[in-house]
Amino acid sequence: MQSFDLYLPTHLVFGKGRVSELGNLVAGRGKRVLITYGGGSVVRSGLLADVKAQLAGFEVFEFSGIEPNPKIESVRRAVELCREKSIDFMVAVGGGSVIDATKAIAAGVFYQGDAWDLLYDSSKIGRTLPFFAVLTLAATGSEYDNTGVISNPETDEKLFLGAPNLFPVASILDPTYTQTVPAWHTAAGAADIMSHTFEQYLVAEGNDLTDGFCESMLRAVIRNTPKAIANPDDYDARAEILLASSFGCCGLLAIGRTPSPWPCHGIEHEISAFTDITHGAGLAIITPHWMRYSLTEATAPRFAQYGVNVWGLDPKGDVMENARKAIDCTAEFFVSIGLPAKLSDLGVTDEHFEEMADHLLTHWYPFDGALRPLDRDGILAILRASL
Ligand code: NZQ
Ligand code: ZN
């Protein structure tokens, strides 16, 4: 059993109608609030109006238009706005992109330099602006973690920042507000949650407790995603996926296990950096190929365990055969929920693969601790197999 830290200061507020408690949660935080949101889904769903009603006693400012794969330019503009209006706290209303951008804004406001510096070096993050989140899409876990991912189209980079004071103060999760998420983003979000789980589950050393957490996460998402896609208003299916979202990235799944370098996320962020594809869709393509690359005689028992405990394969079956079947089940599941099987289906070519591999090796965690250690050739092999 490995030693670990687990620090989860965010107050999770989960359930139908609980946005009505936002006013109480933010009480005493100051006078001026900035609401951050994306391209307008929260306007159409009525959530923005519900949030504003809760902030009636405050001077309210808005910053909208935060993009999927949020861009540093949006962060820079919002940082200026926060300074100009002397904002006391923020409320992020949206998916992972809005929450991530809000984290970068929170860190950028008190940083005497360009916010992009913080993506290269999180140790430069000092004081941060407090913020709350009202989540609308089950996927990233940004509502319950302290990292944010920001893209810079000028440098073709997608990098993350993180600091102990970048957790949301509180996150409100009402499954009702995820019922308007279209099938594509519902599926991509499910793939993202599953990938967060695989990244922590498929490591050299696990333990009984968190093997179970991970397997339960995977079973819940696999069982409920097809239901949510077939019937978008299925509250219980949406609720199961939303709950899984929050536990994907908060560190709970990793306790006591071999620390993971999150290889699929490293590779996917490179692809998104160059091509702006949807994060979860990229993961759905890469993950089965990373699994095939990582399958060896030594690692087969872990994949076989996944096959038995998540996909119901025969526990008495041949270990290598079960491992291969488990990987095939994973790939087939992603296709069954409407996600692509090849990067070329998303218009990605191999033009930048070499640059991606080089950038990954200098800007990501070392891959020595991956289930199967990954070098430049390994990264390129996974990228080419995914094409
Ligand atoms: O912009 P709006 O109009 O709100 O539309 C969004 C967006 O177009 C739409 N949407 C969100 N909620 C909706 C909705 N449409 C209808 N009804 C709703 N209730 O969905 C689209 C995608 O939203 P986005 O926030 O981009 O998706 P997601 O939550 O998947 O976030 C993806 C970003 O998070 C990063 C990814 O790399 C990517 O940039 N990640 C953040 C992580 C973290 N902070 O811990 C970890 C993840 O691994 C990931 O890297
Ligand atoms: Zn992810």
**Nearest ligand, CA of residue 97?**
1
Q: Which pLDDT belongs to residue 67?
A: 97
The CB of 140 under 6 Å from ligand 1? The reply is yes
Q: Which pLDDT belongs to residue 181?
A: 98
Instruction: Please state the atom number of ligand 1 nearest to the C-alpha of residue 188.
Output: 30
Written as six digits, the tokens of 130 are 């407090």
Atom 45 (ligand 1) nearest CA: 142
The CB of 150 under 6 Å from ligand 1? The reply is no
Q: Dihedral of CA 143/144/146/152: which sign?
A: negative
How much is the average pLDDT of 211-228? 98
Q: Do the beta carbons of residue 34 and residue 86 sit within 8 Å?
A: no
Which residues lie below 8 Å from residue 301, measured CB to CB, with a gap of 6+? 319, 323
Atom 29 (ligand 1) nearest CA: 96
Instruction: Please state the atom number of ligand 1 nearest to the C-alpha of residue 137.
Output: 12
The CB of 248 under 6 Å from ligand 1? The reply is no
Residues shown for the chain: 387
Atom 8 (ligand 1) nearest CA: 68
Q: Which pLDDT belongs to residue 149?
A: 97
pLDDT band at 50 (very low <50, low <70, confident <90, very high): very high
Q: How far is the CA of 284 from the centre of ligand 1 (A)?
A: 16
Atom 46 (ligand 1) nearest CA: 140
Distances (CA, A) of 237 to 107, 122, 213: 35, 37, 18
Q: Which pLDDT belongs to residue 188?
A: 98
Q: How far is the CA of 141 from the centre of ligand 1 (A)?
A: 10
Q: How far is the CA of 145 from the centre of ligand 2 (A)?
A: 12
SS (H, E, C) 92-122: EEECHHHHHHHHHHHHHCCCCCCCHHHHHCH
Mean pLDDT for the chain? Answer: 97
Q: Are strands 131-135 and 89-94 parallel, antiparallel or unpaired?
A: parallel
Q: How far is the CA of 53 from the centre of ligand 2 (A)?
A: 32
219 burial class (0-12, 13-18, 19+ CB within 10 angstroms)? middle
* 301-327 per-position pLDDT tens digit: 999 999 999 999 999 999 999 999 999
**Nearest ligand, CA of residue 37?**
1
* 192-210 per-position pLDDT tens digit: 999 999 999 999 999 999 9
The CB of 180 under 6 Å from ligand 1? The reply is yes
pLDDT band at 337 (very low <50, low <70, confident <90, very high): very high
Instruction: Please state the atom number of ligand 1 nearest to the C-alpha of residue 151.
Output: 39
Q: Do the beta carbons of residue 171 and residue 132 sit within 8 Å?
A: yes
Verdict on whether the full-model pTM lies above 0.85: yes
* 255-297 per-position pLDDT tens digit: 999 999 999 999 999 999 999 999 999 999 999 999 999 999 9
